[in-house]
Copies of this chain bind each other. A is one copy, B any other.
Amino acid sequence: MSSSQAPHSTLLIPGPIEFDDAVLQSMAHYAESHVSPAFVKVFGETLTLLRRLFQSTNPAAQPFVISGSGTLGWDVVASNLIEKGENALVLHTGYFADSFATCLETYGANATQLKAPIGDRPSLEQIEQALKEKPYKIITITHVDTSTGVLSDIKHVTEVVRRVSPETLVVVDGVCSVGCEEIAFDEWDLDVVLTASQKAIGCPPGLSILMMSGRAIDRFKSRQTPPSSYFASLANWMPIMQNYENNKPSYFATPPTQLIHALHTTLAQITARPMAERFAIHTQTSDRVKAAVAELGLSQLAAQPEAQAHAMTAIYLPEGLTPPDVLPGLLKRGVIFAAGLHKEVATRYIRFGHMGVSVTDPARNDIDKAIAALKEALTEAKQAKGL
């Protein structure tokens, strides 16, 4: 690993992820006014780079970067794009749909969950049927559920929505997908993609990032009631984002200047090459990881290949082993994986994140090291348990 960073175990969880040196150097940027010409330029360029990340050229679409965790994106949606008593259809592929539904209900929406068994996703037919049963203002889809590694087919789900219920806003939770899974915001006619800085975008945590369509912005503008949040209100943030991108200083709340610099650095790196190339290398790496997992005789939570995420793999452990049996053996070999998160099966699986520089910088050798470590740690754990 060619890095100026202090020696540390390689972080291969589904976010935060390993950082490029230049990104971390941006985090240590000297003090700067949030309304200085230099910073306004960096923030404005960052918003423009986000359009490229989302493959969007439609000027009606609007990117947002707000100080907060990815979770804050749910509040932005729930308090601006749907009103009290209106219906939301929540496609459930793991832990994060439950939480998004709770957030929607906090602000007064009625959230109907369409649940798939663990490791699966609702079918297009089920989604079509659900959409025909009630008028839904929004449908939410977790693009990759970080708790299960299930990938949703947002392109075809959106096609169904446009055919059956064209005015329903398509809201994608892309926290674990933006920057690694293919997303063509304009072409696929998406309305919202919300994400965070610390996963495949490769920036430290602390930024809530959203891309919104003109249709979503129009829906916000035609609300009958004011937004039901203050810090997450689009009425407060929209002029700020528009001003920054037009190189004009503007103030609602102090932006996290160092994190914005880091986001600018990583987005400039990512968008310097075609996005298709980035998606392809994540897919190739994912194929390699999944083949290694199969070779170890292990199965994934996401059973069907087409529903498997390309930037993480949720791996069932051999019968008799739990995460605490395996994770220390990985750590001993310099690799950090995550424990299970989906409460019904949390003790039965581990999660391997493979995204960002660990995937795009072959000189790091992170993925091969992790695969070898997994093999050894499993063998060791099985021996210790007499399995």
Contact = CB atoms under 8 A, between A and B. Distances in A.
Interface of A: 5-6, 8, 11, 13, 15-19, 24-25, 27-36, 67-72, 74-75, 78, 102-103, 106-107, 196, 198, 204-206, 226-233, 251-259, 336, 338, 341
A230 B25 CA distance: 33
Given A28-B24, A257-B204, A33 B13 contact: yes
A347 to B, nearest CB: 15
B71 A68 contact: no
Given A106-B230, A229-B229, A231-B69, A27 B258 contact: yes
* Total copies of the chain: 2
Nearest to A67: B69
Contacts of A72: 67-68, 231, 253
A229 B75 CA distance: 8
Contacts of A106: 226-230, 233
A83 to B, nearest CB: 14
Contacts of A33: 11, 13, 16, 336, 338
A334 B134 CA distance: 63
Find the residue from A36, A69, A228, A257 having the highest chain B CB count within 10 A. Answer: A69
A34 B336 CA distance: 12
Contacts of A230: 71, 74-75, 78, 102-103, 106-107
A235 to B, nearest CB: 10
Contacts of A257: 16, 204-205
Contact of A256 (B17, B31, B34, B259): B259
The list of the 7 closest CB pairs from A to B, nearest first, reads A206-B256, A69-B253, A71-B253, A103-B230, A27-B27, A11-B31, A24-B28
A16 B30 contact: no
A16 B34 contact: yes
28 contacts: A8-B31, A13-B33, A16-B32, A16-B254, A19-B31, A25-B28, A28-B28, A67-B67, A67-B69, A68-B72, A68-B231, A70-B253, A70-B254, A74-B230, A75-B229, A102-B230, A103-B230, A107-B228, A198-B254, A204-B256, A204-B258, A205-B255, A205-B256, A205-B257, A206-B256, A229-B229, A229-B232, A256-B259
